[in-house]
C-alpha cells in the first residue's frame, strides 16, 4: 500500500480488477458489453487484457453466468458482471440453488472462486427492475458471501478480497455511489469480508448503514451532532454478517437504528434486529428501528426520493429511539 | 396478398406519425424532458408500424422496446399522450407515473412492459394459449435480435410450436444489442434460423419496407388464426444511432464507422415509403405535406397534454394501496 | 359448509381444486405431469376437467409458468404447480421481478389472479434442492402473497381463498404434512389470507409455528404442559404477515419463540422478531428466540432430523426464554 | 472409424458392469437400502457406456441422471463404492453423505450433480470455454430428451456454436419424461432437430447399440478437439420401467401398454451386444461368463464397502465449517 489519491468509487473497482488481473492470470471477466463498457468500471480493460480474459457474451444471463460458473470449476477465477444487478434473477436458479450449495452438498471438496457483481439502487428513476436491490435476495441463501461498499476505499479493498476469496462472493454496488470520490491507496490492500467497521464514533445511538445509505447516515449524524451523538457502523459485508461489531457498539449506545436500502421484509435490517433481540436483548434501552423501502415495488417516476430511505426518515428514526 | 391503396396510405400515415414521435422522444431526452432513457428508433420505424397496423382488436400486442414501441403504439392506436405523461412521471401517465417508461393499455391488450430484455417470452405462452382457447385472436410479440439469446425464447418457441399457438414471433433484427454485433450473438446469418429447430415457418422480410412487413405479418396472422400455429418473422433493419441516447456508439469496444452509418442512412424507411406512395400514386405530394403537418400538430398536442399533467407524487399510503388488488 | 370428515391434507387441497374448478370455468391448472400426478393432489383431475383445463407442459419452468402468467392477463385464474417448490427458481425472474411488480408498476390497472404452488420441506432425505424451503424467498418481494397450511382444514380453506384472491398467491405446502389427517368440512369455506390463528391458548410463552413445524410445536406444548403453558400462533399466511395477532398474544405471555423451517437468515422468524422489537418492545420480558435451519444448505443423507427444526430444539428455546 | 476388437471387448465389459450396477441399485431401493429415489436404467444402459468409455482423462464428463449415471461412472472409472456409500448416507460417500444421490469426483472431472433437470446447461458453457482455452480437452454433457425443454439448453447450444466450443451435447432420448411422451414435449421427431437452429452438426444413433454410440461419440470428440465446435448426438433409447421406482408407469394419465413395453424389451442392449461380440468373435462364451462373474463380484465388493461404512451424522458445527472454503 503506497500513495493515496482521491478516486471515484467506480475507478476504485476498476483498479482492483487491473491489479488482480495483472497479478493472477486465472482472473477473467464475463459479462454483456463489458468490452465497450456500460458503466466505467470495465472501460479500457479489453485493451489491456484482450478478449480471452474480458469475455463479452450474447444477451443470455444463464449462458453468461455459466461461462463463469463452469470456468471456476476448471481453475479460473471469474468475475461475472450482471450490469444491473437485478438481471441476476434470470440466472437465479444456477446462482441460488446450484452455486450456493455446490461446495457443501458435494462434500466440501471443491471451491468456487467467483465474483458476482452488478449495480443497483434508487436514484436514477429507472423503476423497480433496474434499481432492484438484490443483496438480501442473495444473502438469504447460505454459500455465497455478499458485500456492498460505501466508499471508494472499501470498494477497492472489498473487490480485491472478493476476487481472492475461494468462495462465490456477490459484490453489489450502488449506482448512487458510482461517482463518489474518496481516498484510495495505490497499491495492494484488502478490506476483509465479513468484518464491519465503526466508521464514526458516537455514544447515544448506533446507526447501521452501508452503500448509498452510508452517505445519508453521515448527513444525519452531522446534522444531529451536538444534540445526539451517532455512532455509524458500516457492515460492509452483509453475509456473513458481523453482528459482534454491532453488539459492541450497542454496549456503548444501547440504541439501534438500521438503514437498509431494500424492502423491509426479510431484509438485513430485520436480520440484525432479530439477532440483537436474541443475543443482545439486555443491551437494548429502546425499540430497534429499521429504515427500509416499504414493501412496495420500487417506483420510478418522481417517487424514489421519498420511497427509498432518506435523511428525513433516518433522522426521524434516530430521534424516535433517543426520546 | 398485395395491399390496397387505402392500406398503403394508412401505413404511410402511421409511419410518418411514428417517425415524428420517435424524434420528439429523442429531442426530449436530450433536453432533459424525459425520465430514464430513450432508445432511438431513428431509421428503423417501419417494422413496428408494418407489424401492428392491421392487427385485430382482440389480438394481443407486445411492442418492442426500441423507440419505446412508438411504431406499435401508433399502429394499435394507444394513447401516446398518456404514454408520454408516464415517461415524464405525471399523474395522467398510463401507469400513474410510477414506471418511468412502461406502457400499459390492458383494455387494448397491450399488457405492460419491462426493463428485462426478453421478459415477454414467458407470458407470451399464456397469451398464445388463451388466444387459442378463445379463438379469433392471436399474439404479435415483437422484440430485438438480441432478445433471442434468452433461454426463455426457446421455451416460448417450443411451446408455441408444440401446441400450435397463434403467435407471430416478430423480430426486429438490427444486428446490434448495445455494443454487440450480430456476429457476436448468433452463429447463423438469420436469427430466424432458430425456428428450424422447431419446424416453425420463418420468413425474412426487409424491415425498412413498411409495406412488405405489413404483407408478411398479415399472412402470418392468417396462418395463426387458421389454427396452423406460430410463424417467425424476421424484419431486417438497422440501428442508425447509439443504443440509447448518451451511450457511446460502439461495436464491441470500437466506435462504429461513419462510412458504414452513412450507408445505413440510405435505407431510411420514410424516404423509401414516400418514393413508393408517390410512384404508385397512392398519395400526392400535397397529401403527404398534409400528413406531415398533422403529425407535427399531433406531436405538439401530445407534448402539451403530458406537460400540463401534474407531477405524480402520491403518498406512501396511496402507493401501498396499489400493490394488491 | 356442511359435513366434516377426516381427510389427508393432500386430499383437502384437491377438494379445493375440484370445488373451485366446478364453480368457476376460468380456473385452470398448469404443471408438469399433473395429469398423471406426481403428488396425489392432482390425481384424477384430468378425467373430470380435461386437458383444456389440466394443462401438462414440457419440462420447462419458464414456459410452464408463462402459460399461467399470460393466461391470467387474459381472464383465466391459473393454478401453476411447480411439483417441488424449489423448481420455482427456474422461473424466478418472471415470478419475483415481473409478476410481483406487474400490477403496481403498471398503475394498478390489472390484477393477476394466480396460485403458485409446490411442495417442499425436510424429511424425505432428498437433499437441498427438493427440500428447499422457498416461502421466504417469495415473501421477500412485495406483490405476491404467501401462505403455508398446517392442517387439512387450513389447506382447503387457504387454497380456496388463494384461488379466489385477485392477486398472485404462493401456496407452499410441506411434504411432511401431505398425509396428515384432520377434519375437513365438505362444503365451501375460506381461511382468509393474511390472518394468523391462535391454535392453542397458553399464558407463559408465545410459540409461532406453521407447516410441518406446527406439529412439532404441538408436541412440545403437550410435553411441557403443566410446567410451561405454551400459546401456539399459526401465522398461516406469511405475507402479508399478521403481526397483530402475535402482538396480542405477547401482551399475555411476554415471551416469544418463532419456529420457521427455513434458513435463519432473512427468514419470517427474523422478520417477526424485528417487528416485535420495534412495535412490541415494551411487551418483551426475554430475548426472542428463533428456531430455524442453520445457514447451511439443507443436507440429505441422514442429517435432516437434527439440521431442520425439531422438538428438542424447540423445547430448548422455549425453556430458554422461560427461565 | 470402426472399433477394434479390444475396444469392443472393453465396451462389452463396461456394459455388463453398468447393467449389474443398475440392477443392484434397483434391488436396493426396493429393499429400502438406498436413500431418496432411483431412476432405473434397465434396458437403456448402452448409451452412457458408449458415450463415456473412450473419453480422455482431461475431458469433462457430465453423467445423465438416469440409472444415476451408472453407465458413465463405469466408463469413466469413478469409484462406485464411494457413490453407493453416498447414496446410503455413509461417511465414505463421495459427498460425505450429505447429498443422498449426488456424485462428485472433481479430480476425475466429474464435477457434481443436481436434482434440477437441466442444471448442467449452465456450467457446460464454462466447461467448454475453459476446455477451448486450455486445448486438448472437451466436454461430454449427457442428459435426457426432457431436459431440452429448458431454456438454458438454448443458451448452452447458442454459446457453444457461437464460440465453437468443444462440447458434445449427448442426449439419451427415451421418448419419456416422467409421464410425458415425446409428442407432448417436442414438435419434431428428432430432438436433435434443435441443433439446426444453430447450424450445429447433429447425429442420430441407435442408443441400444453400445458400439454405434461409441463410434459416434469418438467422431464427435475428434471434431471438438480439432476446434470445429460442438456436436449434438442423439441416442435413441427407451424406458422399460417407471420413471423412478415406485411411481406408476403412465403415459400422461394412462398406464403404458404391456404390449408396447414387451416390444421394447426386445431391444435389450446387453442381448444385442452379446450377440455381436459372439458373432464377430470378439469374445468367447467363456470370456463372457467370466465377465459376468467378475461383475457380480464387483457389485458385491461395492455393496460391502458402502454397507461397512458408518452412517454420516456430523455435528452442526462440522457442517457449518463445510459451507465456505
Ligand atoms: C435481462 C436483461 N439483460 C440485459 C439488459 C441490458 N440491455 C438493454 S437493451 C439490450 C440490447 C437489446 O438488444 P435487442 O434485443 O437486439 O434490441 P435492440 O436494442 O437492438 O433494438 C441489453 C443487452 C437488459 N435490459 N435486460
Ligand atoms: C427443474 C426440474 N423440473 C422438473 C423436475 C422433475 N423431473 C425429474 S426427472 C424428470 C424427467 C426428465 O426427463 P428426461 O430429461 O427425458 O430424462 P429421463 O428421466 O427420461 O431419463 C422431471 C420432469 C426436476 N427434477 N427438475
Ligand atoms: Mg438488436
Ligand atoms: Mg427422457
The answer for C108, left when phi > 0, alpha when psi is -120 to 50, beta otherwise, is left
What is the structure's pLDDT at A305?
Answer: 96
* B286 sits in which H/E element: helix B285-308
Task: Give the C-alpha separation, A131 to D58, whole Å.
Answer: 43
- What is the CA C48 to chain-centroid distance, rounded? 27
The domain that contains D80 carries what CATH number?
A: 3.40.50.970
- Interval between CA C303 and ligand 3 midpoint (Å): 50
Helices (H), chain B: 5-30, 46-52, 70-76, 80-87, 123-134, 151-162, 182-185, 210-225, 258-265, 269-279, 285-308, 316-321
User: Could you tell me which CATH class the domain A4-185 is placed in?
Assistant: alpha beta
Q: State the average pLDDT for chain A.
A: 97
Closest CA to A267 of A140, A171, A117, A100: A140
With CB atoms and an 8 Å threshold, state whether C37 touches D116.
Answer: no
Q: State the average pLDDT for chain D.
A: 98
Q: pLDDT by residue (tens digit) across C168-220?
A: 999 999 999 999 999 999 999 999 999 999 999 999 999 999 999 999 999 99
CA distance C6 to chain A (A): 36
Residue C87 contacts B, CB cutoff 8 Å = no
**Block residue for cell numbers 419424461:** D177
D262 three-class SS: helix
Please indicate, yes or no, if residue D325 is contained in any of the structural domains.
no
Closest CA to D146 of D110, D114, D167, D116: D116
Phi, psi of A317 (to 5 degrees): -65, -40
First to last CA, chain B: 46
Cell of D107: 479430480
- Report in angstroms the alpha-carbon separations of D249 from C39, C151, D23, D39, D181: 14, 31, 18, 12, 12
Determine how many CB atoms are found less than 10 A away from the CB of residue C204.
18
Q: pLDDT by residue (tens digit) across C107-163?
A: 999 999 999 999 999 999 999 999 999 999 999 999 999 999 999 999 999 999 999
What is the structure's pLDDT at D57?
Answer: 97
The answer to whether the CB of C28 falls within 8 A of the CB of C78 is: yes
Strand positions, DSSP E, D147-279: 167-173, 176-177, 180-181, 202-206, 231-236, 250-251, 254-255
Domain ranges across chain A: 4-185, 197-321
Which pTM value belongs to this model?
Answer: 0.98
Atom of ligand 1 minimally distant from the CA of B174: 20
The answer to whether the CB of D128 falls within 8 A of the CB of D165 is: yes
CA atoms within 13 A on the CB side of A147: 30
Please indicate, yes or no, if residue D223 is contained in any of the structural domains.
yes
Q: Is D117 in the pocket of ligand 2 (CB under 6 A)?
A: yes
Q: Compute the radius of gyration of chain B from its Cα atoms.
A: 19
- Which DSSP category does B242 fall into? -
CA-based nearest residue in chain C for residue B99: C105
Closest CA to B265 of B239, B246, B291: B239
**Block residue for cell numbers 369455506:** C189
| Lateral strand order in the sheet of A230-234 | A197-200, A230-234, A205-208, A256-263, A289-293
What is the structure's pLDDT at D237?
Answer: 98
With CB atoms and an 8 Å threshold, state whether D197 touches B195.
Answer: yes
The answer to whether the CB of A78 falls within 8 A of the CB of A29 is: yes
Cell of C180: 396428515
The answer to whether the CB of B103 falls within 8 A of the CB of B110 is: yes
From the number of C-beta atoms within 10 Å of its C-beta (0-12, 13-18, 19+), residue A206 rates as buried
What is the structure's pLDDT at D1?
Answer: 67
Task: Give the C-alpha separation, C86 to C66, whole Å.
Answer: 17
Residues within 5 Å of ion ligand 3, judged at the Cβ atom: B 144-146, 174, 176-177
What is the structure's pLDDT at C97?
Answer: 98
With CB atoms and an 8 Å threshold, state whether C63 touches D89.
Answer: no
* A318 sits in which H/E element: helix A311-321
Q: Is B184 in the pocket of ligand 1 (CB under 6 A)?
A: no
Does the pLDDT at position C315 exceed 80?
A: yes
Domains held by chain D: number: 1
CA-based nearest residue in chain A for residue B101: A126
Residue D112 contacts C, CB cutoff 8 Å = no
Q: pLDDT by residue (tens digit) across B41-68?
A: 999 999 999 999 999 999 999 999 999 9
What is the structure's pLDDT at A38?
Answer: 93
Phi, psi of D323 (to 5 degrees): -75, -50
Q: Whose CA is nearest to atom 11 of ligand 2?
A: D177
**Block residue for cell numbers 391470467:** C72
Which of the listed CATH numbers 1.10.510.10, 3.40.50.920, 3.30.830.10, 3.90.550.10 matches domain A197-321? 3.40.50.920
DSSP string across B250-263: EETTEEPPHHHHHH
Q: What percentage of chain A carries pLDDT values higher than 90? A: 99
Does the pLDDT at position B87 exceed 90?
A: yes
Give the structural domain span for D54: 5-320
- What is the CA B166 to chain-centroid distance, rounded? 19
Does the pLDDT at position A2 exceed 80?
A: no
The answer to whether the CB of D3 falls within 8 A of the CB of D11 is: yes
- Report in angstroms the alpha-carbon separations of A304 from A39, A126, A299, B98, C141: 21, 10, 6, 10, 17
Mean pLDDT, range D76-90, rounded to an integer = 98
Task: Give the C-alpha separation, A35 to D223, whole Å.
Answer: 30
Phi, psi of C4 (to 5 degrees): -120, 125
The answer to whether the CB of B295 falls within 8 A of the CB of A269 is: no
What is the structure's pLDDT at B195?
Answer: 98
What is the structure's pLDDT at C17?
Answer: 98
Length of chain A: 323
Does the pLDDT at position C1 exceed 60?
A: no
Task: Give the C-alpha separation, C265 to A136, whole Å.
Answer: 9
Task: Give the C-alpha separation, D183 to B324, whole Å.
Answer: 40
D214 three-class SS: helix
Q: pLDDT by residue (tens digit) across A233-246?
A: 999 999 999 999 99
Secondary-structure percent of chain B, ordered helix, strand, coil, rounded to 5: 50, 10, 40
Please indicate, yes or no, if residue B69 is contained in any of the structural domains.
yes
What is the structure's pLDDT at A138?
Answer: 98
What is the structure's pLDDT at C2?
Answer: 60
Residues of chain C in contact with residue D183, where contact means CB-CB under 8 angstroms, are: none
The answer to whether the CB of A30 falls within 8 A of the CB of A55 is: yes
**Block residue for cell numbers 403415459:** D251
Mean pLDDT, range B129-133, rounded to an integer = 98
Mean pLDDT, range A29-36, rounded to an integer = 97
C145 three-class SS: strand
Q: State the average pLDDT for chain B.
A: 98
The answer to whether the CB of B119 falls within 8 A of the CB of C98 is: yes
Closest CA to A32 of B177, B248, B183: B177
Q: At what angle do helices A152-164 and A9-23 cross, to 10 degrees?
A: 30
Task: State ipTM.
Answer: 0.98
Closest CA to A81 of A43, A125, A126: A43
With CB atoms and an 8 Å threshold, state whether A55 touches D129.
Answer: yes
Classify strands A181-185 and A4-8 as parallel, antiparallel or unpaired. antiparallel
Residue C296 contacts D, CB cutoff 8 Å = yes
Length of chain D: 325
Task: Give the C-alpha separation, C118 to C95, whole Å.
Answer: 14
First to last CA, chain A: 44
Cell of B167: 403467435
Task: Give the C-alpha separation, D96 to D79, whole Å.
Answer: 14
The answer to whether the CB of B34 falls within 8 A of the CB of B88 is: yes
Q: Is B234 in the pocket of ligand 1 (CB under 6 A)?
A: no
Phi, psi of D41 (to 5 degrees): -100, 5
Q: At what angle do helices D269-279 and D210-225 cross, to 10 degrees?
A: 90
Q: pLDDT by residue (tens digit) across A297-312?
A: 999 999 999 999 999 9
First to last CA, chain C: 44
Atom of ligand 2 minimally distant from the CA of D39: 19
- Interval between CA D296 and ligand 4 midpoint (Å): 28
Determine how many CB atoms are found less than 10 A away from the CB of residue C43.
18
Q: Is C130 a catalytic residue?
A: yes
What is the structure's pLDDT at A43?
Answer: 93
What is the structure's pLDDT at A3?
Answer: 72
Residues of chain D in contact with residue C295, where contact means CB-CB under 8 angstroms, are: 320, 323
Q: pLDDT by residue (tens digit) across D301-310?
A: 999 999 999 9
Task: Give CA angle at C297 (C294, C301), nearest 5°.
Answer: 105
Q: pLDDT by residue (tens digit) across A123-165?
A: 999 999 999 999 999 999 999 999 999 999 999 999 999 999 9
Determine how many CB atoms are found less than 10 A away from the CB of residue A192.
14
Amino acid at each position: 500500500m503506497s500513495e493515496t489519491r482521491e478516486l471515484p468509487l467506480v475507478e476504485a473497482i476498476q483498479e482492483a480488477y487491473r491489479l488482480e488481473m495483472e497479478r493472477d492470470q486465472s482472473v477473467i471477466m464475463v459479462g454483456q458489453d463489458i468490452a465497450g463498457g456500460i458503466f466505467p468500471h470495465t472501460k479500457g480493460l479489453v485493451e489491456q487484457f484482450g478478449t480471452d480474459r474480458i469475455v463479452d457474451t450474447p444477451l443470455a444471463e444463464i449462458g453468461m453466468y455459466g461461462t463463469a460458473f463452469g470456468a471456476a470449476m476448471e481453475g479460473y477465477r471469474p468475475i461475472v458482471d450482471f450490469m444491473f444487478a437485478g438481471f441476476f434473477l434470470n440466472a437465479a436458479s444456477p446462482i441460488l440453488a446450484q452455486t450456493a450449495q455446490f461446495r457443501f452438498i458435494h462434500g466440501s471438496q471443491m471451491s468456487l472462486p467467483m465474483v458476482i457483481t452488478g449495480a443497483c439502487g434508487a436514484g436514477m428513476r429507472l423503476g423497480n427492475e433496474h434499481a432492484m436491490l438484490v443483496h438480501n435476495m442473495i444473502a438469504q441463501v447460505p454459500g455465497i458471501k455478499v458485500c456492498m461498499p460505501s466508499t471508494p476505499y472499501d470498494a477497492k479493498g472489498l473487490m480485491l478480497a472478493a476476487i481472492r476469496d475461494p468462495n462465490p462472493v456477490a459484490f453489489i454496488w450502488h449506482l448512487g455511489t458510482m461517482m463518489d470520490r474518496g481516498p484510495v491507496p495505490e497499491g495492494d490492500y484488502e478490506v476483509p469480508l465479513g468484518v464491519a467497521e465503526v466508521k464514526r464514533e458516537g455514544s447515544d445511538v448506533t446507526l447501521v448503514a452501508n452503500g448509498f445509505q452510508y452517505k445519508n447516515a453521515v448527513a444525519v449524524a452531522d446534522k444531529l451532532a451536538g444534540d445526539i451523538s451517532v455512532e455509524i457502523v458500516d457492515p460492509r459485508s452483509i453475509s456473513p454478517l458481523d453482528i459482534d461489531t454491532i453488539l459492541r457498539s450497542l454496549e456503548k449506545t444501547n440504541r439501534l437504528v438500521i438503514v437498509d436500502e431494500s424492502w423491509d421484509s426479510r431484509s438485513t435490517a430485520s436480520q440484525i434486529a432479530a439477532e440483537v433481540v436474541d443475543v443482545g436483548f439486555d443491551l437494548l434501552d429502546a425499540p430497534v428501528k429499521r429504515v427500509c423501502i416499504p414493501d412496495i415495488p420500487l417506483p420510478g417516476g418522481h417517487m424514489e426520493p421519498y420511497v427509498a430511505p432518506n435523511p428525513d426518515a433516518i433522522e426521524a428514526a434516530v430521534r424516535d429511539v433517543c426520546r | 396478398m398485395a395491399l390496397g391503396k387505402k392500406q398503403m396510405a394508412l401505413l404511410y400515415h402511421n409511419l410518418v406519425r411514428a417517425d415524428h414521435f420517435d424524434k420528439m422522444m429523442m429531442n426530449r431526452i436530450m433536453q432533459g424532458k424525459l425520465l430514464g432513457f430513450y432508445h432511438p428508433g431513428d431509421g428503423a420505424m417501419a417494422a413496428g408500424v408494418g407489424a401492428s397496423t392491421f392487427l385485430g382488436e382482440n389480438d394481443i400486442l407486445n411492442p418492442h422496446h426500441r423507440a419505446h414501441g412508438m411504431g406499435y403504439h401508433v399502429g394499435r392506436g394507444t394513447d401516446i399522450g398518456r404514454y408520454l405523461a408516464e415517461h415524464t412521471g405525471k399523474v395522467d401517465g398510463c401507469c400513474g407515473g410510477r414506471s418511468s417508461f412502461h406502457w400499459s393499455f390492458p383494455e387494448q391488450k397491450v399488457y405492460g412492459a419491462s426493463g428485462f430484455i426478453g421478459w415477454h417470452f414467458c407470458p407470451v405462452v399464456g397469451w398464445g394459449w388463451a388466444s387459442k382457447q378463445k379463438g379469433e385472436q392471436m399474439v404479435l410479440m415483437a422484440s430485438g435480435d438480441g432478445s433471442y439469446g434468452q433461454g426463455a425464447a426457446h421455451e416460448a418457441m417450443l411451446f408455441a410450436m408444440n401446441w400450435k399457438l397463434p403467435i407471430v414471433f416478430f423480430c426486429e433484427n438490427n444486428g446490434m444489442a448495445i455494443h454487440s454485433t450480430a456476429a457476436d450473438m448468433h452463429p447463423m446469418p438469420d436469427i430466424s434460423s432458430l425456428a428450424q429447430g422447431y419446424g416453425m415457418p420463418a420468413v425474412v422480410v426487409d424491415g425498412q419496407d413498411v409495406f412488405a412487413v405489413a404483407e408478411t405479418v398479415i399472412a402470418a396472422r392468417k396462418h395463426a388464426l387458421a389454427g396452423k400455429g406460430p410463424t417467425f418473422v424476421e424484419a431486417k433493419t438497422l440501428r442508425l444511432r447509439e443504443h440509447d441516447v448518451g451511450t457511446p456508439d460502439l461495436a464491441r469496444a470500437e466506435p462504429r464507422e461513419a462510412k458504414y452509418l452513412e450507408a445505413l442512412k440510405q435505407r431510411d424507411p420514410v424516404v423509401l415509403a414516400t418514393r413508393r406512395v408517390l410512384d404508385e400514386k397512392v398519395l400526392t405530394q400535397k397529401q403527404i405535406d398534409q400528413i406531415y403537418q398533422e403529425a407535427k400538430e399531433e406531436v405538439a398536442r401530445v407534448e402539451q397534454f403530458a406537460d400540463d399533467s401534474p407531477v405524480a407524487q402520491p403518498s406512501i399510503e396511496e402507493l401501498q394501496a396499489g400493490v394488491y388488488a
